[in-house]
Structure 1
Amino acid sequence: MATDTLFLIDGSSYIYRAYFAIRHLSSPAGFPTNALYGFTQMLLKVIKDHHPGRLAVVFDKGRTTFRTEIYPDYKANRAAMPDDLVPQIGPIKEMVRAFSIPVLELEGYEADDIIGTIARRCEEQGLEAVVVTGDKDLMQIVSDRIRLLDTMKDRVSGIPEVVERFGVGPGQVIDILGLAGDTSDNIPGVPGIGEKTATKLIQEFGSLDALLERAGEVKGKTGERLREFAEQARLSRRLATIVRDVPLDFDLDAFAVAPADNRRLAELFKEYGFTTLMKELTSEATLTTEHYRTIFAEADFRALLADLAGAGVFSVDLETTSLNPLEADIVGISLSFRDHEACYIPVGHAYDGAPAQLDRTLVLEGLRPLLTDPAVRKVGQNLKYDYQVLRRHGIVMAGVWCDTMVASYLINPVRSGHGLDSLAVEHLDHRMISYEEVAGKGKDQLNFARVPVEKASTYSCEDADAAWLLHRLFLPRVAEAGMERLFFDLEMPLVPILAEMETAGVKLDLALLGELSAGLGSQLTALEEQVMALAPEPFNLNSPKQLGEVLFEKMKLPAGKKTKTKTGWSTNVEELERLAEAGHEIAAAILRYRGLAKLKSTYTDALPRLVHPASGRVHTSYNQTVTNTGRLSSSEPNLQNIPVRTDEGRKIRRAFIAEEGHLILSADYSQIELRVLAHLSEDRVFCDAFARDEDIHTRTAAEVFGLFPEMVTPEMRRQAKAINFGVIYGQGAFSLAKQLGITTKVAKEFIDNYFARHPGARAFLDGCVAEAEARGYVTTLMGRRLPIPDIASSNGNIRAFAQRNAVNYPIQGSAADIIKAAMVRVTERMRREGLTSRLIMQVHDELVFEVPEGERTAMERLVQHEMEHAAPLRVPLRADVNVGRNWSEAH
């Protein structure tokens, strides 16, 4: 963009647009940041897309202006600024200044007036002005040299666009506003005259003044109103008119774009948790590469081995040919055991002119004693990957001691990601060399084996060095937070366990999946025919837009509140369930169709494509650093979402089978979260019921309904189960009433009766909220800290959600700790006893094993014992163990 163009950003307009575009976001400390983040992104979009030569951001300063003096009701209808937006205004302006962009505001005037004044000066000096705004009122200042830019709609408005919008030129826009008024600003206009009528009148008479002078020529009610409210029309025009001679002292040259203050931006991004922006904008390469070296000679390699043995701890990072550890060949190995020092050993670079490298087998065999020695501690970033690749090359790494990704997750589980690049930016103030910088991008990206050794060496040494430096920062923080035992006894032993699970994979019955897919296809066809028979006309069932039109416009079904959007009617699950509950058969059929379609696309169709050609098994990825509560998640495929209780879900589980001569063993914790609640709360009734091995839901039903346990019906038990789990999830009377199909009053009575019988549970749950309010976090049974950053939010809905998390997180997190402890205990005992059974899946509160038929009895006893003794609780842990030829039979 030429330097003779000035971009003026309507900051006040964009603050609100950013606030409502991103409904909720907060910093690690709980400070609301949705408007701040959205505004910053908007600012960056202007800079990146348009490269302005001159730039300024303009804000309103207070609500009192000359307009409120002449008309006190001006903007009086506007709601007060949201509580969680108020504290963001200062940081937004601070962020703008950190970009070295002038911030303009003036008491008594609005941002529009300042923009109009500066744009006029540009025009007078032969410069161009682009006003970045979504406010239609600013169309009145558009000219040959002044345009409007709405970045959120990617729309530029010049004179033709003004005429298209208002039917008149920019100079007559204020006449339209004077007649029609503006409800958003509480400008009255002339009663009964809307924008369309105003446009016609101004087009006919040429101006508001001419119209009012000749108002007698206008017939009917419109003429009467014009004559009666002539002064109000003139006042309205004055209120709508942008002042273009604001007494503001400025120099257009001062708006020339200057380099951003990267140090200040980095501080702000770090404070507010904008880690992606830190990486993109403010970071620089600060780690020295002076002591990085590449090892080509065997003598140097032998010397390195001696140094590593003497150090007793080192970081390791592999460079490979693939991100898939089951297919990756090692290209090079980087190692570090001192700050700012690292070595790279190339073993697989293959390109014209590549230097001679040490033999891969020689290097791996040389490293084997160190890599397999549990007394030599290994550090790294995402060590699970390196473990799997080394295992593929015949080395089972031991002494997996500190994974910086896992340590970062423990320290801050609500962080959006724990990649090495962003961790280095945040904690080392260093921008890492990106993979694209060494290997290229897109279709031209090189396999790492073809990357020049000198580039690969610096890149890989930096990875090993950064991981080494980060581990030295993170471990003291883990200890300071009281999570040292959790890290070393639970999370780190889990890394090789997950690596082994992923490597093992699980066998699938592909023929059965094919049958299931065909069956689901037939059901979907029948359901589609059913929906079309119920609909007034054919439509694309997979198009939410068409579906909304059919349901709410053609069939005139009752629409829910606020379901109409700019893109069409909402047809989400909640809306369809509401219609189905009201007896509309078509909604029930659509819900059924969607559920089956998702199962077909996600599982019966997708699973066969995920089978690895070499192993003939599917290898899911277990994610240790994703959920806020410490729970594991899985991807490709996501095993957590296979329905447990539906017939289709059970059929899909039948397709998970054991190898010939083996069985599937499933061990599932019984009501673990309620047992955790009983332990943490020490609630006498709960503890007594579990000690007696009673059915806890029947016991709760008997208490809530005031009956003997033998009088409890299945429906009563179902309701009691909803109450029990509703307590864990912080559910209120309204949500419980909706779930059970009862009135809110009855639901409240249920909850009140429940807590009257469980005072210990009530006290514990209240204590969780108090702990979160006092500390900003809650803790699990094993000391895991789970941040609740929004517990002090000024937004009531956000705060209520945080309070529910404060209740839920200690219970869910403790359950997660226990299942992880069980995985570690079971695996260690299997190893001690020399069993060949394999842990192949972890889903919710369930562990799944593939067991040789000869180890069945031993494994049943072992798994049940270790799971039931995974944590010392005041109530007994119970694990249900079952065996079958497939997962469905065993569950």
Structure 2
Amino acid sequence: MTDQPKRLYLIDGSSYIYRAYFAIRHLSNSKGQATNAVYGFTNMLLKVMREHAPDHLAVVFDAKGPTFRKDIYPEYKANRAAMPEDLVPQIPRIKELVRAFNLPALELQGFEADDIIATLAKKHAAQGLEVTIVSGDKDLMQVVSEQVRMLDTMKDKIYGPAEVAERFGGGPDKVVEVQALAGDSSDNIPGVPGIGEKTAVKLISQFGTVEDLLARVDEVKGKMQDKLREFGEQALLSKRLVTLRDDLELGIDYDALATGEPDRKALTALFGELEFHKLQQEFFSDAASRDDDYQGVFTTEELERLIARLEEAPRLSFDTETTGLDPLRAELVGLSLAVQPGQAWYIPLGHHYLGAPEQLDRDRVLERLRPLLEDPDKLKIAQNAKYDLLVLRRAGIEVQGADFDTMVASYLANPAAKSHGMDSLAADLLGRKTISFSEVAGSGKNQISFAEVEIEKAVTYAAEDADVTLQLYEKLKPMLKEAEQEKLFHEVEMPLVGILADMEWQGVRVDSVVLGSLSRELEEKLAALEKEIHELAGCSFNIGSPKQIGEVLFEKLKLPRGRKTKTGWSTDVEVLQKLAEEHAIAARILDHRSLAKLKGTYTDALPKLVHPDTGRIHTSFNQTVTATGRLSSSDPNLQNIPIRSEEGRRIREAFIPAEGNVLLAADYSQIELRILAHLADEEMLQESFARGEDIHRRTACEIFGGFPEMVSDEQRRQAKTINFGVLYGMGAFSLAKSLGIDRKKAQTFIDAYFERLPRVADFLEACRVEARQNKYVKTLLGRRCAIPEIDSPNQGVRSYAERNAINYPLQGSAADIIKVAMVRVFARLRQEGLQTKMVLQVHDELVFEVPENELEQARELIRREMQGAVQLKVPLDVDIGVGKNWREAH
């Protein structure tokens, strides 16, 4: 044994499964599969391996089925609750994980993990090894000795003989004696009723063993003696139950417990499926093992050879490297290209640092590549193609033939994925760790521009991007077909990539003078509000501090208190809105917050975002963010400008067209209710829309009875709330809160609604059923909207998912329709040779900048194409407004 390592770690796997499960809650992957226990267990295992570096280790589990203890005492563990439903499928994954680490996962039919651990500990301690049991289970303390210690990683505590004696009043041999008397409710070990652990420790300290105690029971005074006489046999039975077997035939030798190199391929695949991306990155196979052929292009001859290869290939993958993230401000530093997996080229064009090698002239390279890049028949692949299209457009190249964006393809093929970025896609689909930007350019304060990155590093980094994008294309193309998303991808989403790039390129003109004037007005209003709030409070305080607001409202003014947070009283919108019904100060604080947000987010910020060259704001439209397919907007977000407040509407006045143009806003009217009428095939709704009736007044007639002219404004308001509430799965509680009525009355309204519109109720239930069956629902065009949480054991999470199951098909179909409309309108504007430009998309609204002499032609073209985007059983109605600013047009 002298040549063998002297340390053995035995992990109580079954105990740690439960501890991991309850320590981390509500964690699941994009398929809705619970992963919390696997994640917690993985981190526990890694903690042991990293901090203690054992050279011999085994993970021990309870086997399925009854154990010998059940034969001794049928009620053993009878009161144990059934294993949590979402834990059951995680057990095989945990064992799979252990095996992927090349560790033995031990279990033995008829015995518990503790018996196996006791056997291994006794055997190897007798051979002179130092054994560490990794567990928090007190039953295993009976195994502790000078050679065997117990480590509880959750408490970061080690138990040796001294620590066991401190708890049990003697050596580890006293553990079973104490437990025999005290019993264990979790395992249904009876012990002696009325004797707890402290009393048991005193008795065993005095008498030594249960047998000696019972033999000398006359020495015990009072009622305790009676209990021991009555339940003595039960104590002896309990001792048999708690005593661990340490003599099992396991058929495993010491060498088989040696730790080895983990199976990186298996771990990569498993962590990818579980979506443990950080862990996955740690265990990728070494990049050096790949036979990548990445080359830099530095001479004219090398460039010509590359172009010849590109011309022969049916399609190419490309990627740009730049000096920044804003495509309309960043400078092109280089271009990478690939036509077959494992091979790629990088053409450096703008690296400048001390000692940088000579590079080809940027303009001459782009001119040579122009015929390829602008050829619509040469199909092109890119990751986040919109960015590259804009960068190259700024460099003078109008890329044509952008046929496959891997980011967009992933968004459609796997909508539940948490990220569609290249690094995540490479990890999930290729089992590959890509070189991160920080690895070549640094991070934080030390980060340098890509133009300063050494070309040798840049070649590998940039060429990999083009290569991996090509490999992702080959993985994602069949996935799109399998998910039945090919038509949506090629006919809607891919054409939209170029359209969004064009919209971002155009930008929208902003009048900074108007914004500046409004900012000053808001400043004055905020000052007046602050003064009023301080007067109402009777003191000065920082209105921007939620902590100080809470102290003033709830401690100084003694207003009805809400809930407490870690930092003090909650003063969120919900709390303040409730208080505002009766207390003016809460209403004024809400007003102050609203105006301060408008000022900081828009009137102060927007002028700073005006591009110095174009004089316009160029927002970024995000195509792969929302669960429903809706576009979002960022840097700045122009979709969240509030239009219900006067100040919010005035912000829209600052959005103006160029001289000689007007803004035209085209907005789908009540599109989600029209989609509901179509999908639910509800005749009343369809008839009402066909006649052009006020849908909310008609709904009020159905709910409250009578004729349309008899409907009061309040009834119409209530009907409108119900109509839109149905779209969002609103229940009686939410409706009551929204209408300011009691819950019983709200339920009466809902019942009346569904009684008069039964097909709507059937449709909503069908949506929930579809979500439960598939973990997704579909839109009008077949887009899959993921709802992985639909079977969550958490009622709040599950209820939210059920509401989404109702809303997603409607909101997602609205997103489909406006995207189709954008594709149709854009194509027709080009076909007609008009100069009208689409500049904004906000939910169900499109905004155009229209030359005054094209207005009538553009108005009719836009209306016709938007109304004809899809054929529904009800007409698609489009409201069109025109003005000298966005507010006028809308």
SS of residue matched to 1:348: coil
CA contact (8 A) 1:344 1:460 kept: yes
Deviation at 1:360, TM superposition (A): 0.4
* 769-778 or 342-351, which deviates more: 769-778
Within the candidate set 506, 511, 518, 1:512 is matched to: 518
2:398 corresponds to which residue?
Answer: 396
Residue 784 of structure 1 aligns to which amino acid in structure 2? Answer: R
1:61-109 per-position Cα deviation (integer Å, ceiling 9, x unaligned): 3585566666665554442112222222122212221221222334455
2:450 corresponds to which residue?
Answer: 448
Alignment of 1:158-557 (within 5 A): 184=186, 238=239, 243=244, 245=246, 247=248, 249=250, 251-274=253-276, 277-285=279-287, 291-311=293-313, 313-506=315-508, 507=510, 509-510=515-516, 512-513=518-519, 515-516=521-522, 519-520=525-526, 523=529, 542-543=546-547
2:624 corresponds to which residue?
Answer: 625
1:820 corresponds to which residue?
Answer: 819
CA contact (8 A) 1:191 1:225 kept: no
Q: Distance in 1 between matches of 2:234 and 2:531?
A: 62
SS of residue matched to 1:86: coil
1:12 corresponds to which residue?
Answer: 14
Alignment of 1:404-803 (within 5 A): 404-506=406-508, 507=510, 509-510=515-516, 512-513=518-519, 515-516=521-522, 519-520=525-526, 523=529, 542-543=546-547, 571=570, 576=575, 580=579, 618-646=617-645, 649-650=648-649, 653=652, 664-737=663-736, 739-742=738-741, 745-772=744-771, 777-789=776-788, 803=802
Q: Residues 63 and 479 from structure 1, CA distance in 2 versus in 1: closer, same or farther, beyond 3 angstroms? A: closer
Fraction of identical pairs, as percent: 53
Deviation at 1:302, TM superposition (A): 3.5
* 485-494 or 648-657, which deviates more: 648-657
Residue 546 of structure 2 aligns to which amino acid in structure 1? Answer: N
Q: Residues 698 and 497 from structure 1, CA distance in 2 versus in 1: closer, same or farther, beyond 3 angstroms? A: same
1:127-150 per-position Cα deviation (integer Å, ceiling 9, x unaligned): 555555565776777777766666
The structure having more radius of gyration, on CA atoms, is 2
2:872 corresponds to which residue?
Answer: 873
1:761-804 per-position Cα deviation (integer Å, ceiling 9, x unaligned): 33433444455566564432223233455667788877666554
Q: Distance in 2 between matches of 1:330 and 1:234?
A: 81
1:486-538 per-position Cα deviation (integer Å, ceiling 9, x unaligned): 2122111111222233344443625534653674576468658867989xx99
Q: Distance in 1 between matches of 2:441 and 2:738?
A: 53
Q: Distance in 2 between matches of 1:549 and 1:121?
A: 67
Q: Distance in 2 between matches of 1:886 and 1:717?
A: 32
Deviation at 1:393, TM superposition (A): 1.5
Structure 1 residues not aligned, in runs of 5+: none
Residue 694 of structure 1 aligns to which amino acid in structure 2? Answer: E
Q: Residues 392 and 179 from structure 1, CA distance in 2 versus in 1: closer, same or farther, beyond 3 angstroms? A: farther
Deviation at 1:383, TM superposition (A): 0.8
1:191-236 per-position Cα deviation (integer Å, ceiling 9, x unaligned): 78888x7699799989998999999999999x89988998599679
Q: TM-score with structure 2 length normalisation?
A: 0.83
CA contact (8 A) 1:201 1:211 kept: no
Q: Distance in 2 between matches of 1:228 and 1:595?
A: 75
Q: Distance in 2 between matches of 1:232 and 1:723?
A: 68
Deviation at 1:362, TM superposition (A): 0.6
Q: Distance in 2 between matches of 1:190 and 1:883?
A: 87
CA contact (8 A) 1:493 1:824 kept: yes
CA contact (8 A) 2:390 2:501 kept: yes
Deviation at 1:445, TM superposition (A): 4.3
Q: Distance in 1 between matches of 2:590 and 2:13?
A: 44
Q: Distance in 2 between matches of 1:726 and 1:763?
A: 16
Q: Residues 550 and 580 from structure 1, CA distance in 2 versus in 1: closer, same or farther, beyond 3 angstroms? A: closer
CA contact (8 A) 1:162 1:169 kept: no
Residue 516 of structure 1 aligns to which amino acid in structure 2? Answer: L
CA contact (8 A) 1:839 1:847 kept: yes
Q: Distance in 1 between matches of 2:238 and 2:799?
A: 45
Q: TM-score with structure 1 length normalisation?
A: 0.83
Q: Distance in 2 between matches of 1:807 and 1:167?
A: 58
Deviation at 1:816, TM superposition (A): 0.9
Deviation at 1:324, TM superposition (A): 2.6
Q: In the alignment, is residue 87 of structure 1 matched against residue 89 of structure 2?
A: yes
* 485-494 or 510-519, which deviates more: 510-519
Q: Distance in 1 between matches of 2:587 and 2:177?
A: 53
Residue 542 of structure 1 aligns to which amino acid in structure 2? Answer: P
Q: Residues 646 and 66 from structure 1, CA distance in 2 versus in 1: closer, same or farther, beyond 3 angstroms? A: farther
Residue 818 of structure 1 aligns to which amino acid in structure 2? Answer: I
SS of residue matched to 1:828: helix
Deviation at 1:11, TM superposition (A): 2.6
1:445-464 per-position Cα deviation (integer Å, ceiling 9, x unaligned): 44322333333223322322
Q: How many residues are paired up?
A: 880
Q: Residues 226 and 872 from structure 1, CA distance in 2 versus in 1: closer, same or farther, beyond 3 angstroms? A: same
Q: Distance in 2 between matches of 1:570 and 1:166?
A: 41
Q: Distance in 1 between matches of 2:169 and 2:607?
A: 62
Q: Residues 887 and 56 from structure 1, CA distance in 2 versus in 1: closer, same or farther, beyond 3 angstroms? A: farther
Q: Residues 512 and 62 from structure 1, CA distance in 2 versus in 1: closer, same or farther, beyond 3 angstroms? A: same
* 590-599 or 490-499, which deviates more: 590-599
SS of residue matched to 1:93: helix
Q: Distance in 2 between matches of 1:237 and 1:552?
A: 56
Q: Residues 213 and 703 from structure 1, CA distance in 2 versus in 1: closer, same or farther, beyond 3 angstroms? A: farther
Q: Distance in 1 between matches of 2:745 and 2:343?
A: 68
Q: Distance in 2 between matches of 1:596 and 1:225?
A: 77
Q: Distance in 2 between matches of 1:208 and 1:677?
A: 76
Deviation at 1:255, TM superposition (A): 3.0
SS of residue matched to 1:827: helix
CA contact (8 A) 1:658 1:850 kept: yes
Within the candidate set 52, 55, 58, 1:53 is matched to: 55
Deviation at 1:689, TM superposition (A): 0.8
1:743-775 per-position Cα deviation (integer Å, ceiling 9, x unaligned): 555444433332332233334334444555665
Deviation at 1:319, TM superposition (A): 1.7
